[in-house]
Amino acid sequence: MPVYFIFFLAMLGSAVLFYAGALGTVAVMRRPLPSLIKGGAADGLQTVHLALAWINFGVCWLLYFNVYRIHVDMAAVSDVAFLAFARGYTTRLPIVVLPYGAGALAAALSLWSSPRGVSRRALWGMATLWLLSVACTPWAAGAQDDMHDHGFTDAAFQQLQLAHLLRSLCVCAAAVWAMWECRRLRD
């Protein structure tokens, strides 16, 4: 397994653990989370989250409308062309998965912060959208794996597209919400 993918999985795992820890802490304590990240660091974390959310906004739709559709075109040429494209695609994954993992981690970490003027409800909403998008990831990865192992099938492609559509909608909603919060703070 490539090193970048181990970092990706570590970021996703950390995001899930920070989110689950926050959820458990709130459920047990019955009050808001303690702010472990404060002041400028909390504001910086929100800025990083905003940037990563919008990077992923663009990447999600690029994958959905362009890259994944090339699977269909390559499969129409031949199985060899399809598998060559799939291998080439997976070797270029760091540019896709590392910002995605970092975005999910930044959103989950923000639950433990107190950025100036951002409501707890907004932090929870954005983090929940990111975690919902992470929940769609195994479904999309399973479709990719099926196509890599058994060649292109319409069923696997439809599974990939639907899973990625759900993931894209969640990330995009989080990005718009983050932008809304930043704009609200400026006004």
Using pLDDT thresholds of 50, 70 and 90, give the confidence band for residue 117: confident
Position 185 pLDDT exceeds 90: no
Q: Which two tokens stand for residue 167?
A: 């993931």
Amino acid letter for position 96: V
Q: Where are the alpha helices (DSSP H) in 30-119?
A: 39-62, 68-77, 79-91, 94-110
Candidate from 92-96, 129-133, 156-160 with smallest mean pLDDT: 92-96
Tell me: the pLDDT tens digits for 35-75?
899 889 999 999 999 999 999 999 999 999 998 899 899 99
Residue 122's contacts (CB-CB under 8 Å, 6 or more residues apart) are 177, 181
Domains of the chain: 38-186 (1.20.120)
Please name which of 53, 38, 50, 59 lies closest in space to residue 185, comparing C-alpha atoms.
Answer: 50
* Contact by Cβ (8 Å): 103, 46: no
pTM for this one? 0.91
Q: What pLDDT does residue 30 have? A: 84
Percent of the chain whose pLDDT exceeds 70: 98
Average pLDDT over residues 95-109: 96
Position 186 pLDDT exceeds 90: no
Q: What pLDDT does residue 118 have? A: 86
Using pLDDT thresholds of 50, 70 and 90, give the confidence band for residue 187: low
Residue 28's contacts (CB-CB under 8 Å, 6 or more residues apart) are none
Cα distance between residue 168 and residue 164, in whole Å:
6
More confident call, 4 vs 86: 4
